[in-house]
Amino acid sequence: MLNLREIVKANDIRGLVGSQLDDRVVRALGTAFARRELASGAERLVIGHDMRDSSPRLSEAFALGARSEGLPVVHMGLCSTDALYYASGALAAPGAMFTASHNPAAWNGMKLCRSGARPVGLDSGLAEVRDLAQALLDDPAWPVDGDGAPPAAEERRDLLPGYAGHLRSLVDLSGIRPLRVVVDAGNGMAGMTTPAVLGSAAGLALPPVEVIPLYFELDGTFPNHEANPLDPKNLLDLQAAVPQYGADLGLAFDGDADRCFVVDERGEAVNPSAVSALVATREIAKELAAGRQPTVIHNLITSRAVPEVIREAGGTAVRTRVGHAFIKAEMAAADAVFGAEHSAHYYFRDFWYADTGMLAALHVLAALGEQSEPLSVLLSVHQRYAASGEINFRVPDVAQALELVAAAFAADPGVVQERLDGLTVADGPVDGDGAWWFNVRPSNTEPMLRLNVEAGDRPTMEALRDRVRGVLAGIAG
Protein backbone atom coordinates (compact mmCIF):
# COMPACT_ATOMS: atom_id res chain seq x y z
CA MET A 1 0.00 0.00 0.00
CA LEU A 2 1.37 3.39 -1.01
CA ASN A 3 2.22 5.83 1.74
CA LEU A 4 1.29 9.24 0.33
CA ARG A 5 4.07 10.85 2.35
CA GLU A 6 6.38 9.43 -0.33
CA ILE A 7 4.89 11.65 -3.05
CA VAL A 8 3.29 14.60 -1.25
CA LYS A 9 6.07 17.19 -1.01
CA ALA A 10 6.25 20.57 0.68
CA ASN A 11 4.67 22.44 -2.24
CA ASP A 12 3.20 19.86 -4.61
CA ILE A 13 2.79 16.17 -5.42
CA ARG A 14 5.31 14.21 -7.53
CA GLY A 15 5.64 10.50 -8.21
CA LEU A 16 6.39 7.76 -10.71
CA VAL A 17 3.42 6.92 -12.90
CA GLY A 18 2.12 3.40 -12.24
CA SER A 19 4.08 2.52 -9.12
CA GLN A 20 3.14 5.67 -7.18
CA LEU A 21 0.55 7.55 -9.22
CA ASP A 22 -2.37 5.65 -10.72
CA ASP A 23 -6.06 6.28 -11.24
CA ARG A 24 -7.08 5.14 -7.74
CA VAL A 25 -4.46 7.26 -5.97
CA VAL A 26 -5.32 10.33 -8.01
CA ARG A 27 -9.06 9.81 -7.57
CA ALA A 28 -8.55 9.67 -3.79
CA LEU A 29 -6.62 12.93 -3.91
CA GLY A 30 -9.36 14.51 -6.02
CA THR A 31 -12.00 13.36 -3.57
CA ALA A 32 -10.05 14.69 -0.60
CA PHE A 33 -9.32 18.04 -2.23
CA ALA A 34 -12.97 18.48 -3.23
CA ARG A 35 -14.20 17.78 0.30
CA ARG A 36 -11.85 20.41 1.68
CA GLU A 37 -12.76 23.01 -0.92
CA LEU A 38 -16.50 22.38 -0.69
CA ALA A 39 -16.24 22.96 3.06
CA SER A 40 -14.62 26.32 2.22
CA GLY A 41 -17.45 27.31 -0.11
CA ALA A 42 -16.05 26.34 -3.51
CA GLU A 43 -18.62 26.14 -6.29
CA ARG A 44 -16.45 24.56 -9.01
CA LEU A 45 -12.95 23.25 -9.67
CA VAL A 46 -10.74 24.04 -12.67
CA ILE A 47 -8.34 21.34 -13.90
CA GLY A 48 -5.55 21.53 -16.48
CA HIS A 49 -2.73 19.27 -17.59
CA ASP A 50 0.56 19.30 -19.45
CA MET A 51 1.66 17.26 -22.50
CA ARG A 52 2.81 14.10 -20.66
CA ASP A 53 1.17 10.93 -21.94
CA SER A 54 -0.28 10.13 -18.51
CA SER A 55 -1.64 13.62 -17.79
CA PRO A 56 -5.06 13.43 -19.52
CA ARG A 57 -5.99 10.13 -17.86
CA LEU A 58 -4.82 11.20 -14.42
CA SER A 59 -6.62 14.53 -14.66
CA GLU A 60 -9.84 12.68 -15.54
CA ALA A 61 -9.43 10.43 -12.48
CA PHE A 62 -8.93 13.47 -10.25
CA ALA A 63 -12.01 15.09 -11.80
CA LEU A 64 -14.06 11.96 -11.11
CA GLY A 65 -13.06 12.10 -7.46
CA ALA A 66 -14.07 15.75 -7.22
CA ARG A 67 -17.33 15.28 -9.13
CA SER A 68 -18.28 12.28 -6.98
CA GLU A 69 -18.24 14.68 -4.01
CA GLY A 70 -20.59 17.06 -5.82
CA LEU A 71 -18.02 19.63 -7.02
CA PRO A 72 -18.49 20.63 -10.69
CA VAL A 73 -15.36 20.64 -12.85
CA VAL A 74 -14.11 22.94 -15.61
CA HIS A 75 -11.57 21.14 -17.81
CA MET A 76 -8.97 23.39 -19.45
CA GLY A 77 -7.22 20.50 -21.15
CA LEU A 78 -3.67 21.24 -22.27
CA CYS A 79 -2.26 24.31 -20.51
CA SER A 80 0.76 25.71 -18.70
CA THR A 81 0.82 25.92 -14.93
CA ASP A 82 0.56 29.71 -15.00
CA ALA A 83 -2.47 29.42 -17.31
CA LEU A 84 -4.08 27.23 -14.63
CA TYR A 85 -3.33 29.96 -12.09
CA TYR A 86 -4.93 32.49 -14.44
CA ALA A 87 -8.05 30.32 -14.62
CA SER A 88 -8.17 29.94 -10.83
CA GLY A 89 -8.01 33.72 -10.49
CA ALA A 90 -10.34 34.64 -13.32
CA LEU A 91 -12.97 32.02 -12.41
CA ALA A 92 -12.53 32.43 -8.63
CA ALA A 93 -12.18 28.65 -8.35
CA PRO A 94 -9.70 26.23 -6.79
CA GLY A 95 -7.44 24.54 -9.30
CA ALA A 96 -5.41 21.41 -9.99
CA MET A 97 -2.61 21.28 -12.54
CA PHE A 98 -1.26 17.90 -13.65
CA THR A 99 2.45 18.18 -14.32
CA ALA A 100 5.80 17.02 -13.02
CA SER A 101 7.35 20.26 -14.28
CA HIS A 102 10.94 19.51 -15.32
CA ASN A 103 11.03 15.89 -14.11
CA PRO A 104 11.68 13.11 -16.66
CA ALA A 105 8.88 11.51 -18.68
CA ALA A 106 8.21 8.66 -16.23
CA TRP A 107 7.05 11.14 -13.59
CA ASN A 108 3.87 13.09 -13.07
CA GLY A 109 2.24 15.04 -10.29
CA MET A 110 -0.01 17.92 -9.47
CA LYS A 111 0.04 21.45 -8.14
CA LEU A 112 -3.03 22.50 -6.19
CA CYS A 113 -4.33 25.95 -5.43
CA ARG A 114 -7.34 27.50 -3.76
CA SER A 115 -9.59 30.07 -5.38
CA GLY A 116 -7.64 33.04 -6.63
CA ALA A 117 -4.51 30.90 -7.15
CA ARG A 118 -3.82 30.88 -3.41
CA PRO A 119 -1.13 28.29 -2.61
CA VAL A 120 -1.75 24.86 -1.13
CA GLY A 121 1.36 23.49 0.61
CA LEU A 122 1.91 21.21 3.56
CA ASP A 123 1.38 24.14 5.92
CA SER A 124 -1.68 25.43 4.08
CA GLY A 125 -3.91 22.42 3.49
CA LEU A 126 -1.89 19.85 1.56
CA ALA A 127 -1.19 17.73 4.65
CA GLU A 128 -4.93 17.60 5.34
CA VAL A 129 -5.64 16.52 1.76
CA ARG A 130 -2.89 13.90 1.99
CA ASP A 131 -4.22 12.38 5.21
CA LEU A 132 -7.83 12.27 4.01
CA ALA A 133 -6.78 10.66 0.74
CA GLN A 134 -4.64 8.14 2.64
CA ALA A 135 -7.66 7.11 4.71
CA LEU A 136 -9.62 6.48 1.51
CA LEU A 137 -6.79 4.42 -0.03
CA ASP A 138 -6.41 2.36 3.14
CA ASP A 139 -10.08 1.30 2.86
CA PRO A 140 -10.18 -1.73 0.51
CA ALA A 141 -13.89 -1.11 -0.14
CA TRP A 142 -13.27 2.40 -1.57
CA PRO A 143 -14.47 3.58 -4.01
CA VAL A 144 -18.04 2.31 -4.13
CA ASP A 145 -19.66 3.60 -7.31
CA GLY A 146 -23.33 3.67 -8.09
CA ASP A 147 -24.72 4.02 -4.57
CA GLY A 148 -24.94 7.79 -4.32
CA ALA A 149 -26.08 10.77 -6.35
CA PRO A 150 -24.76 11.14 -9.92
CA PRO A 151 -21.44 12.98 -10.23
CA ALA A 152 -21.51 16.74 -10.53
CA ALA A 153 -21.39 18.35 -13.95
CA GLU A 154 -18.27 18.96 -16.00
CA GLU A 155 -17.51 21.25 -18.92
CA ARG A 156 -14.56 21.92 -21.22
CA ARG A 157 -13.45 25.49 -21.81
CA ASP A 158 -10.68 27.14 -23.84
CA LEU A 159 -9.11 29.73 -21.53
CA LEU A 160 -5.89 30.26 -23.50
CA PRO A 161 -7.04 33.51 -25.21
CA GLY A 162 -8.03 35.00 -21.86
CA TYR A 163 -4.69 34.05 -20.34
CA ALA A 164 -2.75 35.57 -23.23
CA GLY A 165 -4.84 38.73 -23.21
CA HIS A 166 -4.40 39.22 -19.48
CA LEU A 167 -0.61 38.96 -19.71
CA ARG A 168 -0.44 41.33 -22.65
CA SER A 169 -2.58 43.84 -20.77
CA LEU A 170 0.07 43.98 -18.01
CA VAL A 171 3.09 44.76 -20.23
CA ASP A 172 2.84 47.10 -23.21
CA LEU A 173 5.03 45.91 -26.09
CA SER A 174 3.52 48.15 -28.74
CA GLY A 175 6.20 50.85 -28.68
CA ILE A 176 9.36 48.76 -28.38
CA ARG A 177 11.99 48.46 -31.11
CA PRO A 178 11.86 45.32 -33.26
CA LEU A 179 13.37 42.31 -31.48
CA ARG A 180 14.29 38.80 -32.53
CA VAL A 181 13.99 36.14 -29.82
CA VAL A 182 14.76 32.42 -29.89
CA VAL A 183 12.40 30.46 -27.64
CA ASP A 184 13.27 26.93 -26.52
CA ALA A 185 10.06 25.29 -25.32
CA GLY A 186 11.79 21.97 -24.63
CA ASN A 187 8.75 20.18 -26.14
CA GLY A 188 6.78 21.53 -23.19
CA MET A 189 3.78 23.78 -22.78
CA ALA A 190 5.58 26.97 -23.88
CA GLY A 191 5.21 25.54 -27.38
CA MET A 192 1.51 26.35 -27.02
CA THR A 193 1.58 29.48 -24.85
CA THR A 194 4.32 31.41 -26.68
CA PRO A 195 2.43 31.68 -30.00
CA ALA A 196 -0.68 32.68 -28.07
CA VAL A 197 0.97 35.43 -26.04
CA LEU A 198 3.33 36.78 -28.72
CA GLY A 199 0.94 36.08 -31.59
CA SER A 200 -2.60 37.08 -32.35
CA ALA A 201 -4.52 34.81 -29.95
CA ALA A 202 -4.79 37.61 -27.40
CA GLY A 203 -6.88 39.67 -29.81
CA LEU A 204 -4.26 42.43 -29.69
CA ALA A 205 -1.97 43.86 -32.33
CA LEU A 206 1.07 41.73 -33.04
CA PRO A 207 4.10 43.02 -31.08
CA PRO A 208 7.28 43.84 -33.02
CA VAL A 209 8.84 40.57 -31.85
CA GLU A 210 10.03 37.87 -34.23
CA VAL A 211 9.96 34.45 -32.54
CA ILE A 212 12.32 31.71 -33.71
CA PRO A 213 10.95 28.45 -32.24
CA LEU A 214 12.99 25.57 -30.87
CA TYR A 215 11.18 22.36 -29.94
CA PHE A 216 7.64 23.73 -29.94
CA GLU A 217 6.11 20.30 -30.65
CA LEU A 218 4.34 19.09 -27.50
CA ASP A 219 5.98 15.79 -26.55
CA GLY A 220 6.05 14.45 -23.01
CA THR A 221 8.92 12.08 -23.86
CA PHE A 222 11.23 15.12 -24.25
CA PRO A 223 13.06 13.82 -27.36
CA ASN A 224 15.52 16.75 -27.65
CA HIS A 225 16.51 17.45 -24.06
CA GLU A 226 14.90 17.49 -20.62
CA ALA A 227 12.66 20.50 -20.07
CA ASN A 228 14.81 21.64 -17.16
CA PRO A 229 16.69 24.85 -18.01
CA LEU A 230 18.21 24.92 -14.53
CA ASP A 231 20.61 22.22 -15.78
CA PRO A 232 23.19 23.99 -17.99
CA LYS A 233 23.33 21.17 -20.53
CA ASN A 234 19.69 21.83 -21.44
CA LEU A 235 20.52 25.41 -22.45
CA LEU A 236 23.20 24.47 -24.97
CA ASP A 237 20.91 24.40 -28.02
CA LEU A 238 19.46 27.80 -27.15
CA GLN A 239 22.89 29.27 -26.46
CA ALA A 240 24.06 28.14 -29.89
CA ALA A 241 20.91 29.34 -31.68
CA VAL A 242 20.86 32.91 -30.36
CA PRO A 243 24.11 34.07 -32.05
CA GLN A 244 23.44 31.78 -35.03
CA TYR A 245 20.22 33.65 -35.81
CA GLY A 246 21.54 37.05 -34.75
CA ALA A 247 18.84 37.19 -32.08
CA ASP A 248 18.61 39.81 -29.36
CA LEU A 249 17.99 37.21 -26.66
CA GLY A 250 16.82 33.69 -25.96
CA LEU A 251 14.14 32.35 -23.63
CA ALA A 252 13.96 28.81 -22.24
CA PHE A 253 10.95 27.41 -20.39
CA ASP A 254 10.56 24.30 -18.27
CA GLY A 255 8.00 21.59 -19.05
CA ASP A 256 4.95 23.27 -17.55
CA ALA A 257 6.21 26.72 -18.66
CA ASP A 258 5.95 28.46 -15.30
CA ARG A 259 9.71 29.14 -15.17
CA CYS A 260 11.66 31.24 -17.68
CA PHE A 261 15.42 31.37 -18.17
CA VAL A 262 17.14 34.03 -20.26
CA VAL A 263 20.15 33.93 -22.62
CA ASP A 264 21.72 37.20 -23.80
CA GLU A 265 22.71 38.17 -27.35
CA ARG A 266 26.13 36.52 -26.95
CA GLY A 267 24.58 33.17 -26.02
CA GLU A 268 25.53 33.61 -22.36
CA ALA A 269 23.11 32.38 -19.72
CA VAL A 270 21.75 35.18 -17.54
CA ASN A 271 21.66 34.68 -13.78
CA PRO A 272 17.96 34.55 -12.74
CA SER A 273 18.76 37.00 -9.95
CA ALA A 274 19.67 39.60 -12.59
CA VAL A 275 16.30 39.06 -14.25
CA SER A 276 14.67 39.36 -10.82
CA ALA A 277 16.38 42.71 -10.23
CA LEU A 278 15.39 44.00 -13.68
CA VAL A 279 11.72 43.09 -13.28
CA ALA A 280 11.70 44.42 -9.71
CA THR A 281 12.83 47.87 -10.86
CA ARG A 282 9.99 48.00 -13.40
CA GLU A 283 7.32 46.95 -10.91
CA ILE A 284 8.68 49.32 -8.27
CA ALA A 285 8.62 52.23 -10.72
CA LYS A 286 5.00 51.46 -11.56
CA GLU A 287 4.02 51.43 -7.89
CA LEU A 288 5.85 54.65 -7.08
CA ALA A 289 4.19 56.37 -10.05
CA ALA A 290 0.82 55.33 -8.61
CA GLY A 291 1.74 56.82 -5.23
CA ARG A 292 2.18 53.50 -3.46
CA GLN A 293 5.17 52.26 -1.46
CA PRO A 294 6.24 48.98 -3.10
CA THR A 295 7.35 45.81 -1.37
CA VAL A 296 9.23 43.05 -3.22
CA ILE A 297 9.75 39.52 -1.88
CA HIS A 298 12.89 37.50 -2.63
CA ASN A 299 13.99 34.12 -1.37
CA LEU A 300 17.16 33.65 0.64
CA ILE A 301 19.27 32.20 -2.19
CA THR A 302 18.80 35.08 -4.63
CA SER A 303 21.88 37.22 -5.13
CA ARG A 304 22.48 40.03 -2.64
CA ALA A 305 22.21 42.25 -5.70
CA VAL A 306 18.42 41.71 -5.64
CA PRO A 307 17.67 43.38 -2.26
CA GLU A 308 20.28 46.03 -3.04
CA VAL A 309 18.56 46.93 -6.33
CA ILE A 310 15.14 46.87 -4.66
CA ARG A 311 16.26 49.39 -2.04
CA GLU A 312 18.08 51.55 -4.59
CA ALA A 313 14.92 51.70 -6.70
CA GLY A 314 12.84 52.89 -3.74
CA GLY A 315 11.24 49.61 -2.67
CA THR A 316 11.21 47.54 0.49
CA ALA A 317 12.90 44.11 0.26
CA VAL A 318 11.51 41.19 2.27
CA ARG A 319 13.52 37.95 2.50
CA THR A 320 11.81 34.56 2.76
CA ARG A 321 12.50 30.84 2.51
CA VAL A 322 12.51 28.86 -0.73
CA GLY A 323 9.27 27.45 -2.17
CA HIS A 324 6.26 28.81 -4.01
CA ALA A 325 3.77 28.20 -1.19
CA PHE A 326 5.94 30.22 1.19
CA ILE A 327 6.69 33.11 -1.14
CA LYS A 328 3.05 33.42 -2.26
CA ALA A 329 1.92 33.58 1.35
CA GLU A 330 4.51 36.26 2.12
CA MET A 331 3.45 38.25 -0.93
CA ALA A 332 -0.18 38.20 0.07
CA ALA A 333 0.65 39.17 3.66
CA ALA A 334 2.78 42.13 2.55
CA ASP A 335 0.68 42.99 -0.54
CA ALA A 336 3.97 42.77 -2.43
CA VAL A 337 3.96 43.89 -6.06
CA PHE A 338 6.56 41.31 -7.12
CA GLY A 339 8.35 38.22 -5.82
CA ALA A 340 11.35 36.32 -7.11
CA GLU A 341 13.13 33.03 -6.58
CA HIS A 342 16.59 32.16 -7.83
CA SER A 343 15.10 29.11 -9.56
CA ALA A 344 13.50 31.50 -12.11
CA HIS A 345 10.05 31.54 -10.57
CA TYR A 346 8.64 35.09 -10.78
CA TYR A 347 5.49 36.15 -8.90
CA PHE A 348 3.23 39.13 -9.54
CA ARG A 349 0.52 40.79 -7.47
CA ASP A 350 -1.36 41.53 -10.71
CA PHE A 351 -1.35 37.78 -11.41
CA TRP A 352 -3.01 36.80 -8.13
CA TYR A 353 0.42 36.65 -6.43
CA ALA A 354 1.16 33.57 -8.55
CA ASP A 355 4.23 32.76 -10.60
CA THR A 356 4.38 33.18 -14.35
CA GLY A 357 7.55 32.89 -16.38
CA MET A 358 5.81 34.29 -19.43
CA LEU A 359 5.00 37.60 -17.72
CA ALA A 360 8.62 37.91 -16.60
CA ALA A 361 9.67 37.27 -20.21
CA LEU A 362 7.38 40.09 -21.39
CA HIS A 363 9.05 42.45 -18.91
CA VAL A 364 12.50 41.50 -20.24
CA LEU A 365 11.33 42.07 -23.83
CA ALA A 366 9.84 45.45 -22.90
CA ALA A 367 12.90 46.59 -20.95
CA LEU A 368 15.21 45.58 -23.78
CA GLY A 369 13.03 47.09 -26.49
CA GLU A 370 12.58 50.42 -24.72
CA GLN A 371 16.29 51.26 -25.06
CA SER A 372 19.08 50.64 -27.57
CA GLU A 373 21.71 48.72 -25.61
CA PRO A 374 22.08 44.92 -25.94
CA LEU A 375 20.78 42.73 -23.14
CA SER A 376 24.24 41.98 -21.75
CA VAL A 377 24.82 45.69 -21.17
CA LEU A 378 21.31 46.30 -19.83
CA LEU A 379 21.73 43.58 -17.20
CA SER A 380 25.37 44.18 -16.30
CA VAL A 381 24.43 46.62 -13.54
CA HIS A 382 22.49 43.82 -11.81
CA GLN A 383 25.26 41.19 -11.94
CA ARG A 384 27.49 42.29 -9.06
CA TYR A 385 28.76 39.11 -7.40
CA ALA A 386 30.36 35.75 -8.17
CA ALA A 387 28.01 32.82 -7.63
CA SER A 388 28.55 29.06 -7.57
CA GLY A 389 25.22 28.05 -9.00
CA GLU A 390 23.37 25.25 -7.24
CA ILE A 391 25.47 22.21 -6.27
CA ASN A 392 23.68 19.06 -5.13
CA PHE A 393 24.88 16.48 -2.60
CA ARG A 394 23.23 13.18 -1.71
CA VAL A 395 23.80 12.53 1.97
CA PRO A 396 22.57 9.68 4.21
CA ASP A 397 21.50 12.02 7.02
CA VAL A 398 20.45 15.58 6.13
CA ALA A 399 20.29 16.81 9.72
CA GLN A 400 23.74 15.43 10.51
CA ALA A 401 25.19 17.03 7.37
CA LEU A 402 23.82 20.44 8.29
CA GLU A 403 25.29 20.20 11.78
CA LEU A 404 28.69 19.24 10.39
CA VAL A 405 28.71 22.32 8.17
CA ALA A 406 27.57 24.54 11.04
CA ALA A 407 30.32 23.17 13.27
CA ALA A 408 32.97 23.72 10.60
CA PHE A 409 32.26 27.48 10.59
CA ALA A 410 31.28 27.98 14.23
CA ALA A 411 34.67 29.30 15.30
CA ASP A 412 35.17 31.73 12.41
CA PRO A 413 35.23 35.32 13.74
CA GLY A 414 32.35 37.55 12.66
CA VAL A 415 30.40 34.71 11.07
CA VAL A 416 26.61 34.58 11.50
CA GLN A 417 24.49 31.43 11.13
CA GLU A 418 20.74 31.33 10.44
CA ARG A 419 18.19 28.47 10.17
CA LEU A 420 15.35 30.11 8.22
CA ASP A 421 15.70 27.47 5.49
CA GLY A 422 18.42 24.90 5.98
CA LEU A 423 21.59 26.66 7.09
CA THR A 424 22.76 30.08 5.94
CA VAL A 425 26.27 31.19 6.94
CA ALA A 426 27.51 34.74 6.26
CA ASP A 427 30.38 36.99 7.26
CA GLY A 428 27.93 39.43 8.83
CA PRO A 429 24.14 39.94 8.89
CA VAL A 430 22.56 37.45 6.47
CA ASP A 431 20.71 40.27 4.69
CA GLY A 432 23.57 42.75 5.01
CA ASP A 433 26.60 43.88 3.05
CA GLY A 434 29.18 41.25 3.93
CA ALA A 435 31.77 39.86 1.53
CA TRP A 436 30.24 36.37 1.25
CA TRP A 437 27.43 34.01 2.20
CA PHE A 438 26.34 30.45 1.50
CA ASN A 439 23.20 28.41 2.08
CA VAL A 440 22.88 24.64 2.27
CA ARG A 441 19.33 23.33 2.52
CA PRO A 442 17.33 20.15 2.00
CA SER A 443 15.60 19.80 -1.34
CA ASN A 444 11.79 20.03 -1.23
CA THR A 445 11.47 17.43 -4.00
CA GLU A 446 14.51 15.11 -3.82
CA PRO A 447 16.60 13.38 -1.08
CA MET A 448 19.58 15.74 -1.26
CA LEU A 449 21.17 18.93 0.00
CA ARG A 450 21.52 21.97 -2.24
CA LEU A 451 24.44 24.36 -1.85
CA ASN A 452 24.55 27.97 -3.10
CA VAL A 453 27.59 30.22 -2.54
CA GLU A 454 28.09 33.90 -3.36
CA ALA A 455 30.98 36.29 -2.79
CA GLY A 456 32.30 39.62 -3.98
CA ASP A 457 34.92 37.98 -6.21
CA ARG A 458 35.45 34.59 -7.83
CA PRO A 459 38.51 33.45 -5.83
CA THR A 460 36.70 34.05 -2.53
CA MET A 461 33.58 32.26 -3.82
CA GLU A 462 35.58 29.27 -5.07
CA ALA A 463 37.55 28.92 -1.85
CA LEU A 464 34.33 29.04 0.21
CA ARG A 465 32.57 26.61 -2.15
CA ASP A 466 35.44 24.14 -1.92
CA ARG A 467 35.55 24.39 1.87
CA VAL A 468 31.85 23.52 2.20
CA ARG A 469 32.17 20.86 -0.47
CA GLY A 470 35.00 19.30 1.50
CA VAL A 471 32.81 19.01 4.59
CA LEU A 472 29.93 17.40 2.67
CA ALA A 473 32.05 15.20 0.43
CA GLY A 474 33.09 13.09 3.39
CA ILE A 475 29.53 11.90 4.01
CA ALA A 476 27.91 12.30 0.58
CA GLY A 477 26.48 9.21 -1.02
Edge-to-edge order in the sheet of strand 354-355: 316-320, 295-299, 338-340, 346-348, 354-355
Q: How far apart are CA 113 and CA 81, in angstroms?
A: 11
Are the C-beta atoms of residues 395 and 203 closer than 8 Å to each other? no
- Which amino acid type is present at position 85? Y
Are the C-beta atoms of residues 323 and 10 closer than 8 Å to each other? yes
Residue 15: how many CA atoms within 13 Å on its side-chain side?
20
**Residue from 380, 375, 361, 346 nearest 173 by CA:** 361
CA 337 to chain centre: 17
Q: How far apart are the first and last CA of the chain?
A: 28
The phi and psi torsions of 391 (rounded to 5 degrees) equal -120, 130
**Residue from 196, 203, 185 nearest 258 by CA:** 185
In the residue annotation, 101 being an active-site residue is answered as yes
- Which amino acid type is present at position 61? A
Annotated active-site residue in 54, 55, 101, 276? 101
CA 435 to chain centre: 29
**Residue from 224, 254, 299 nearest 111 by CA:** 254
- 112 torsion bin: left (phi>0), alpha (psi -120 to 50), beta (else): beta
Give the residue numbers annotated as catalytic, written as ranges: 101
